[in-house]
Amino acid sequence: MDTASSRLSLGRLLLTGAAGDLGRVLRARLAPRCTLLRVSDVATMESAASGEEVIQAALEDRAAVHALLQGIDAVVHLGGISTEHPFDAILQANIVGTYNLYEAARQHGVKRIVFASSNHVTGFYRQDEVIDATLPARPDSYYGLSKAFGENLSRFYFDRYGIETVCLRIGSSFPEPKDRRMLATWLSYDDLERLVVAALTAPVAGHSIVYGMSDNTSTWWDNTPARHIGFRPQDSSEPYRAAVEARQPTLDPQDPAVKYQGGAFVRMGPFE
């Protein structure tokens, strides 16, 4: 990727969730653009390369999170639980943890956060609907609820304290689409990088919500309200369509995972 925005320095950047699948992808891609890349996760991470700091911390540990934000210009917040879990686990990592991050950002004067939200904030819209970020949330899971909370929290911190946030409602970011749902929701790794860099370098971000998807032929999401961010996906799921449809030739329209945009998340739980 070689665009004007990608060549801009990202300064001193904190990447949370750096041990996760997308965290590892972005760590390698963002590091060359940073004065310093500080990476954090509750899990073990690879040792620091030149220009990196590696700090193991739990998001629910308020003092540890406050230390993470010291001397940081911007944050890419991928940290937390990324799938459906019992509410108590979601509460600590995704709700308490996100509050700790924003409060630390306020205290340390951080002015831009890229928040990894999720398409599961709107998972109970149907697959025969095309929606945009101006419509009400319809979470499909405890996980989706936690991301809706994060979006509302980031709105509050923008309105009251001026901390800009770009909320990324990430679809399905994998090397290639795995099933027919992902023909609509797929986000390539290159487009993920383009999305995060655009969110960090947009001259004015305000409080914005962007669906994280590639330039797929079929999709359920309209990013028109977020065009000011400057994200222009360049990849598409279309080259994978024939192989995906051959693997999954029929779908049951009565299956909630086929009916609703959230897919399998709409039928997960309850947890004992």
Q: Is 272 inside a domain boundary?
A: no
Q: Is 27 inside a domain boundary?
A: yes
The catalytically annotated residue of 99, 143, 157, 211 is 143
Element housing 36 (H / E): strand 36-41
Extract the tokens encoding 76: 């890419």
Contact 260, 125 (CB under 8 A): yes
User: pLDDT value at position 268?
Assistant: 85
For residue 270, pLDDT over 80 is answered with: no
User: pLDDT value at position 181?
Assistant: 97
Element housing 45 (H / E): none
Whether residue 240 lies in the annotated active site: no
For residue 36, pLDDT over 70 is answered with: yes
Q: Is 88 inside a domain boundary?
A: yes
Q: Could you list the residue range(s) of the whole structural domain that residue 103 is in?
A: 4-267
169-190: pLDDT as tens digits: 999 999 999 999 999 999 999 9
User: pLDDT value at position 19?
Assistant: 97
Q: Report how many domains make up the chain.
A: 1
Q: Is 162 inside a domain boundary?
A: yes
101-121: pLDDT as tens digits: 999 999 999 999 999 999 999
**Beta strands 12-16 and 36-41, pairing class:** parallel
In the chain, the percentage of residues whose pLDDT exceeds 70 is: 97
| 192-217: burial string, b at 16+ Cβ within 10 Å, e else | bbbbbbbbbbbeebebbbbbbbbebe
User: pLDDT value at position 203?
Assistant: 96
For the domain that residue 39 is a member of, what is the CATH number? 3.40.50.720
For residue 7, pLDDT over 70 is answered with: no
For residue 133, pLDDT over 80 is answered with: yes
For residue 257, pLDDT over 60 is answered with: yes
For residue 4, pLDDT over 50 is answered with: no
User: pLDDT value at position 6?
Assistant: 44
pLDDT average, residue stretch 77-93: 96
In the chain, the percentage of residues whose pLDDT exceeds 90 is: 95
